[in-house]
Amino acid sequence: MLVSDLLSTTRIKLPIEARDKPTVLRELAALLAEPNGSELDTIVQAVEEREAVLSTGIGHGVAIPHGKPATLRELRLAAGASPEPIPFDAVDGQPVRLFFLLVGPESAAADQVKALSRISRLTRHAPFRDRLLAARTPEEFYRLLCDAEGK
């Protein structure tokens, strides 16, 4: 499971404009919803329900919010970086600047876990996080992910 296979430049937001957790979730979810916005509320609701159980801020300025909206048929991933740290209730108590929003149906739960694990492994290294944060365009952000995955 490669993160770069789930992501595209049209699903990368640089910079994230939101300054709080609910708005970040909505901003990234908008990248995953159908163009007419019909899935937006369903995606946001599923992710917020998951966040209510336990924050997906994994530490070191990274969050991987995720959920399982019943209306989706495949895994979808969006990513983004914020120029300013955003409070996110992360496990280490630190604010977040790098976000990866992953949603998909219950039937894709195993692949979702693999993708979450892959994102976590990629972002645990400070130099890689720093390169992602320094990316100026979605294309540059995506290329950094591809390079990290040997693609």
- Say if residues 15 and 135 touch (Cβ distance below 8 Å): no
Active site residue 66: yes
- Say if residues 83 and 28 touch (Cβ distance below 8 Å): no
Region class of 34: left (phi > 0), else alpha (psi between -120 and 50), else beta: beta
Strand partners, 100: 79
Catalytic residue among 21, 66, 68, 97: 66
Longest distance between any two alpha carbons in the chain, whole Å: 38
Active-site amino acid positions? 66
